[in-house]
Structure 1
């Protein structure tokens, strides 16, 4: 059952096919370079693109814009403590700002950071500190059609192999991303989190949870992990996050906010070190790059995110989109995870080799066909890594409806009808930082 009614609307328009063709060419076949007005249904990201509630809008009015000691920060601090269980909060303008603060504090030249799977900005921040980001996914994560309730889990076997290879003293940080965005938004079990916490303690590493989608992950746990089938989303979230030494959070996901993020910890020494770096890169530690208004909205959003009615509706929206796609025989990564549906680009375009970026080709064809913008999370976004060729269709929170999803599914089906005629792409220009190339690189058809 839908849990919302609309109190504000925005008109959207599907540009003509000729206009879409021209826009795609101007963008260098990279949909990050498209103007938003050129897009009909925007599934590029769920980060900061959702619809805020009336309670969040009301909270904006009381924003305290004091530079130091803002009462809005106090309300954010209380929300993080109540919902997530951490007493020390260091705000940042968004998740990657929080990553800069935390990983700039914890990592240095020659270090190694382990993660179930690094996402793009996390990988880039680790590398920016001179450290080496190493993924430790479970084997089934790389198999789009394999079974498994928790394909986002951290592989302890892989983790110990890295310890044996490089030595524990080179691994100051172990990270677990929940849900595992780069592994098709797959959830992570609480039992796996417990074991990773023990592993990190044994090698004397700081255990960090990337909590961007902690509420969605907790909901999956209540469905799939026997120990927690009777538990509330709130209780599971507190239990799972409680195993971490620190959290890094983008408030633009399960904070239900359009901007903001933070580092949270129960270690006062780590909090103090992060505050000093925050002053340098973000702002004073009681606003950290956010306005008081934004902190108010984030504080409300964190509490709304763990309401079962909200998160149930959220996950069921993702499942609706997946069902519509599968009904049209579009290859989808299964089981469906949180926040997005991931298309299997290799299965869509088996005639395209990885060097011609089948995932990016699929992204371009979805836009060309129906004005739908997604994002490639395969060999283009993650060069020199062994990952499946996936296209993420990330669903903004509380924004689109079934009619929009039917258009997306029809668009994907139309692309598959002419799949044999789709050509691959080659890179025409790219930035110096390989971990971030998909944000701004330009491509061209291989036949050009």
Structure 2
């Protein structure tokens, strides 16, 4: 049973099939370009799209909008210290702002940054510094058919050592662990693997960074799957796992339960000073850093709510039930189900579409046409030149949709899957200059159907 009830509701409507067809064509077959009013169930992302609690709404009214020395910042700093264990905080307007602050302070041209799997903006920020992002997933993490790994989000130390042997330790300023592993279908990372990564980073004298966007969801999986933590609370697990890092980078729009905001946190004074001064240039003064005081207040409350047992259990179980419903309908999904989203194996769902015709993006578009459902492709379209499976992510906003909404999504996806042979592939019509970010703005067009040629008998 949900552990909350709804106080505010928002009307939504399902546009007609004709309206959806026109909207998708106008958007260049890229659902990022579709207006929200033209979407019925929006599973594009769980980032900043959830519903805040009454306590968070109340906290907004305490916002201290002072440019310097804001008391709202002090409450955010206190929450980060209590929940995550880090004393020094540099706020930013959202996660990618925090990434700019952190990686701009850590990474130089020619460097190599290791990650269990870089997500899109992380990869782009590393590349923007002139460095090379390298993924170190464990075996099976990129195989949607593997089914069964308890911690497929883990970081492969063996793969990382291969990179060290190739480039040397001096070229690697940072080792990053993303929890949960968004690009590996939201799979969790174990605490034991976190310890191993911390030791490896210390061994090569690299800064160990945890991308903590979904730290509470990850801790919930640890409580279920890692024997050492059978009797530990989500809050205790989160505090221990994060404590192995030298720094955190955080989008508050995920497990901060807010609609905007993020931060860098560290216990390294030199890194803190570097981040603080870079933040002044790109984000704002260190006691607001691109966030309004009211938003820092809401984030401070959200961090504490995110590790409450009832909340996080409800959150993860809702996603799990949704994924199991799709699997029961025969839809090929990545299993076990991740913490924030259900990932569909588009290559298996649309076997007639080759990778160079973007089967994931074709599936995203077809789900929108069929039922007004918006998801996102995380395959060859979003990650060109990267070895990624053809996945479609249906990300679940927090505390937003109920069972009937997910019934509609499941019926939509099943309908598309059952009629998959009619779905056509897509090709690029425009290609933005930053390949790591092309899926946000690129436009596509359907691949023309081929007709058999005829030969005259005359």
Structure 1, 173-182 or 314-323: larger mean CA deviation: 314-323
Q: 1:162-241 maps to which residues of 2 (within 5 A)?
A: 162-241=163-242
The 2-side partners of 1:337 and 1:47 are apart by 15
- 1:102 aligned onto 2:102: yes
1:356: which partner in 2? 357
Aligned to 1:376: 377
Quote the Cα distance in structure 2 between the aligned partners of 1:324 and 1:228: 29
SS class of match (2:208): strand
Which residue does the alignment assign to 2:277? 276
* In 2, Cα distance between equivalents of 1:27 and 1:331: 27
Residue 430 of structure 1 deviates from its aligned partner by 1.7
Aligned to 2:91: 91
Alpha-carbon distance between aligned partners in 1 of 2:7 and 2:325, rounded to the nearest angstrom? 27
Write the deviation string for residues 42-84 of structure 1: whole angstroms up to 9, x where unpaired. Answer: 0000000000000000000010000000000000000000000
1:300 is aligned to 301
Please state if 1:139 is matched with 2:178.
Answer: no
SS at match of 1:142: coil
What is the 5 A alignment of 1:51-70? 51-70=51-70
Q: Deviations over 1:339-383 (max 9, x none)?
A: 000000011011111000000000000000000000000000000
CA-CA distance at 1:417 after TM superposition = 1.7
Residues 173-213 of structure 1 deviation map (CA, whole Å, 9 limit, x = unaligned): 00000000000000000000000000000000000000000
Displacement after TM superposition at 1:323 (Å): 1.6
**Residue of structure 2 equivalent to 1:114:** 114
TM-score relative to the length of structure 2: 0.97
How many aligned positions are there? Answer: 448
1:25 equivalent in structure 2: 25
1:385 aligns with 2:399: no
Distance 1:142 1:51 in 2: 31
What is the aligned partner in structure 1 of residue 257 from structure 2? 256
Q: d(CA) in 1 for partners of 2:324 and 2:411?
A: 12
Q: Aligned-pair distance for 1:229?
A: 1.0
Aligned to 2:347: 346
* Residue 145 (structure 1) shift: 2.5
Secondary structure of the residue that 2:271 maps to in structure 1?
helix
Q: Which runs of 5+ in 1 are unaligned?
A: none
SS of 1:161's partner is helix
Alignment-derived partner of residue 14 in structure 1: 14
- Aligned equivalents of 1:416 and 1:129: distance in 2? 41
Do structure 1's residue 247 and structure 2's residue 248 form an aligned pair? yes
Task: Tell me which residue corresponds to 1:367.
Answer: 368
Aligned partners of 2:62 and 2:46: how far apart in 1? 26
Deviation string 1:117-149 (CA, Å, 9 cap, x unpaired) is 000000000000000000000011011122110
What is the RMSD of the two structures over their aligned residues, measured on CA atoms? 0.6
- Rounded to whole Å, the distance in 2 between the matches of 1:296 and 1:43 is 27
Give the alignment of 1:427-446 within 5 angstroms. 427-446=428-447
How far apart are the structure 1 equivalents of 2:53 and 2:221? 23
Helix, strand or coil at the partner of 2:141 = helix
Equivalent position SS for 1:397: coil
- Report the Cα distance in structure 2 between the residues aligned to 1:300 and 1:183, rounded to whole angstroms: 29
Pairwise CA distance, 1:223: 0.1
